[in-house]
Structure 1
Amino acid sequence: MSTPLDSFLAELRPLAIAAANGSPEPPADAADLLARARRFGDPGVTACALVTLGHAHQHIGALDEAQAAFRAAAPLYAQAGDDRACTEAQVELGYSHYAAGEYPRALAAWLDSLEQVRARRDLHHGTRIYLGVGKVYYALEDFTSALRYHELALQLVRGLDTPKLCCEVLINIAGDAYRMQHFDRALRALAEAGELLAGAVSNHVWEAEVESYLGLIHFARGEYPAAREKLDSAFAIHQENQNLWGKSHVLLALGRTHARLGELSRAEACLTSADELAGQARLTSVSREAAALLADLAIRRGDHAAALRHYKHVHALAAGDETVPPALHLGRQVGERLRQAVLRLRMENARRRLAGQPGGLAAQNRESANSP
């Protein structure tokens, strides 16, 4: 006989899976699920609802709220005795810090769970940690190291029956290879990811990313009409899925593409929207690039007042705050250099712990592959 808890779990589980696959319910609906989950007093059920809420917040760029939800879920999973789900919540917390540009915190969240991952020979979460470390290198524009870690992640995931994780790794490899102008490697990875998305994997965010990278490769090769077509396709997917982060990035790329095609009004509309959406999602780098491109467009049409306005916006974004006195900017720059130095030290420690020590996951995987 079905209990109220059974009925609730039948409702929650598909929503949790959809949220983990990039299509969460709105945060208000996810918060209602959490309130209902708490009434059952089951720590595992409450943790599942918290992770679902975390994905819902992250989808719209509410990263502080997402981090709070993931952070609260981990000890509840531990209380419920679900070690794998606890690790998953910690890994998701790391990814949320990564999305916020908080790279030392992202690394700390992943490394906190690394010992348990290695002890369990948990190649799934080991792959996710390699993937995350590669993402941090990507954010630091060390694309060679990013690609190396993502290729290691691909080696690990090949031994697992996890098409979803394999697809995610392939898309990250495509991003690294694109930035290194290794377009053939990027296209191979995108083709394999596209096959997975056409079959076993359902994730609208990744579908849009594949289209977006194809558009960016066309753009890099000077194939602007083809780039516009692929980027339009990516934007349509993000629009239907209401992905703020994705829409901001694609609109920026579309603005560049329209400008190259001489479609200046469309370029301006795309870049203005990219700046607005990026502001909502706290994507400062996207806003800064959009404002710089808007300034260039204003100069092309002879509107120097508009160009000056956009350049002021660029400088305000670069400074982080228009009201900060110039004398404090040097201190902020020095602080950033120190932060980067600390981060690189942590990255080196992470590299040693992930790959350089006997018994590391990569070594374990090779031993398993070579064992009779």
Structure 2
Amino acid sequence: MHPGELNALAHLISESERLTYLDPHAALSLAESACRLAPACTDTLLAISAWRCYGTMLFAFGRIPDGQHAMFKALTLADAEDLVAERGELIQELACAYYTQGDYDEAIAYWADCIDTDGFTLNTRIHAYIGLGQVYYAHERYEMALQNHLDAKALITLPFDTDLHGRVLINLAADYAKLGRFDDVALELDEAMPLAEAAGNPEYIGEILVYRSAIALSRGHAAEAHAFLDQAVAMRRVWAWGEISQSLARGRVYLFEGLLDEALTAVHTALLRADEMGTCHKTFQALHLLAQIYQRQGNTTQAEYFHRRYQEAFSRIVRSGTYAKLQALEARLKH
């Protein structure tokens, strides 16, 4: 590949990254074009960047298996050239994809690899702590999730990667919300918002607004909760995870208000999107919430149906073997 072609490939990647939040469809198209040039690329780091950029955009659109395929292409190149730091970053991306699909054993194995290899960056290690906490969160072990996310935060020394710092704080806010510690949720969000804004990450800003909605709802302020969600929706482009979270949050507000038909519409939308995306954790959250709404409506048949589906989905997530692997990974992280 001659220098002009290398420059063209680098430009496609940089433009895709620039447009990631401004015009996600264009960003995806540019990343796809970059990957068509990647096989002939003589610069391994540039080829890895092309595949990783494409994988990231596919994940954003909820196309998880396709995104994994792109990340594996990048990982193969990193392995071949023994590019250790790049390999670590790609491994944690793949771990997140397995987590999203509810394949927690595989996610744990990848995050374990993040801490077992010399030469991986501090960022990769922090991602492993975040991931460990997220799996505990999915298992409804919120105190354990909180501890691991606090461990991730303790590794951050300023100045630090603004985007990753914000991610840690948002995970802490999620933990505190589940524990009913909404004053602590507010503190984490107050710290996270300027970081998300500085990083230019509307995905994170949207998540922060969802948790601000949860704070408002915990205080009985339904109108304020809706207003935060309206802001989040206005910022969203195609971020599948955010779309599901916002629909679930809207359903909870409608349930609080007693607007049960509206709540059902919002949560069924979330369930449909979660099923399309293949995100098990969001699926069982939606099923559980639907069971509660139908129960409030007096529709016992539907309530029992969705509660049974929720239990089945949760039982697929919670496995004794998975919990043992979690504890083994945690022990390695502590040493």
Note whether the superposition's TM-score is higher than 0.5.
yes
* Equivalent AA in structure 1 for residue 168 of structure 2: V
- Determine the C-alpha separation between the residues in 2 that align with 1:234 and 1:35: 34
- Determine the C-alpha separation between the residues in 2 that align with 1:172 and 1:189: 9
**TM-score, with length taken from structure 1:** 0.79
Checking the alignment, whether the CA contact within 8 Å between 1:274 and 1:290 is kept in structure 2 is no
Q: Which residue of 1 aligns with 2:44?
A: 43
Deviations 1:208-245 (A, max 9, x none): 0000001012112222121111122222223xx21222
Q: How does 1:180-219 map to 2 (within 5 A)?
A: 180-198=179-197, 200-219=198-217
Q: Which residue of 2 aligns with 1:228?
A: 226
Shift of 1:107: 1.2
Shift of 1:121: 7.1
Q: How does 1:235-246 map to 2 (within 5 A)?
A: 235-238=233-236, 241-246=237-242
Q: Which residue of 2 aligns with 1:155?
A: 154
Match status 1:353 vs 2:322: no
Q: Which residue of 2 aligns with 1:9?
A: 10
SS in 1 for 2:102: coil
Deviations 1:296-347 (A, max 9, x none): 4653xxxx5xx63565355456546xxxxxxxxxxx96xx59x722112211
Q: Which residue of 2 aligns with 1:53?
A: 54
Q: 1:341 to 1:22 in 2, by over 3 A?
A: farther
Shift of 1:135: 1.2
Q: Which residue of 2 aligns with 1:102?
A: 103
Checking the alignment, whether the CA contact within 8 Å between 1:23 and 1:203 is kept in structure 2 is no
Structure 2, unaligned runs of 5 or more: none
Checking the alignment, whether the CA contact within 8 Å between 2:291 and 2:305 is kept in structure 1 is no
Q: 1:275 to 1:352 in 2, by over 3 A?
A: closer
Shift of 1:136: 1.2
Match status 1:253 vs 2:249: yes
- Determine the C-alpha separation between the residues in 1 that align with 2:26 and 2:273: 20
Q: Which residue of 2 aligns with 1:365?
A: none
- Determine the C-alpha separation between the residues in 2 that align with 1:152 and 1:309: 42
- Determine the C-alpha separation between the residues in 2 that align with 1:272 and 1:120: 45
Q: Which residue of 1 aligns with 2:284?
A: 285
Q: Which residue of 2 aligns with 1:272?
A: 268
Checking the alignment, whether the CA contact within 8 Å between 2:20 and 2:27 is kept in structure 1 is no
Deviations 1:61-109 (A, max 9, x none): 2222222222221130233453211211111011111111111111111
Checking the alignment, whether the CA contact within 8 Å between 1:22 and 1:204 is kept in structure 2 is no
Structure 1, unaligned runs of 5 or more: 321-331, 358-372
Shift of 1:271: 2.7
Q: Which residue of 2 aligns with 1:123?
A: 122
Shift of 1:196: 1.4
Aligned length: 331
SS in 2 for 1:9: helix
Q: Which moved more, 1:37-46 or 1:23-32?
A: 23-32
Deviations 1:127-168 (A, max 9, x none): 111111111111111111111111111111125521111111
Q: 1:311 to 1:348 in 2, by over 3 A?
A: closer
Q: 1:27 to 1:2 in 2, by over 3 A?
A: closer
- Determine the C-alpha separation between the residues in 2 that align with 1:48 and 1:162: 18
Q: Which residue of 2 aligns with 1:139?
A: 138
- Determine the C-alpha separation between the residues in 2 that align with 1:167 and 1:18: 21
SS in 2 for 1:13: helix
Q: 1:316 to 1:173 in 2, by over 3 A?
A: closer
Shift of 1:191: 0.2
Checking the alignment, whether the CA contact within 8 Å between 2:49 and 2:74 is kept in structure 1 is yes
Checking the alignment, whether the CA contact within 8 Å between 2:247 and 2:269 is kept in structure 1 is yes
Q: Which residue of 1 aligns with 2:35?
A: 34
Q: How does 1:298-337 map to 2 (within 5 A)?
A: 298-299=297-298, 304=299, 308=301, 311-312=304-305, 315-316=308-309, 318-319=311-312, 336=316
Structure exhibiting the larger radius of gyration computed from Cα positions: 1
Checking the alignment, whether the CA contact within 8 Å between 1:214 and 1:230 is kept in structure 2 is yes
- Determine the C-alpha separation between the residues in 1 that align with 2:310 and 2:180: 28
Q: Which residue of 2 aligns with 1:368?
A: none
* Equivalent AA in structure 2 for residue 308 of structure 1: T
Once the two structures are aligned, what percentage of the paired residues are identical? 23
SS in 2 for 1:138: helix
Q: Which moved more, 1:258-267 or 1:59-68?
A: 258-267
SS in 1 for 2:319: helix
* Equivalent AA in structure 2 for residue 261 of structure 1: E
Q: 1:90 to 1:17 in 2, by over 3 A?
A: farther
- Determine the C-alpha separation between the residues in 1 that align with 2:257 and 2:195: 33
- Which fold has the larger relative contact order, with Cα–Cα distance below 8 Å and residues 6 or more apart in sequence? 2
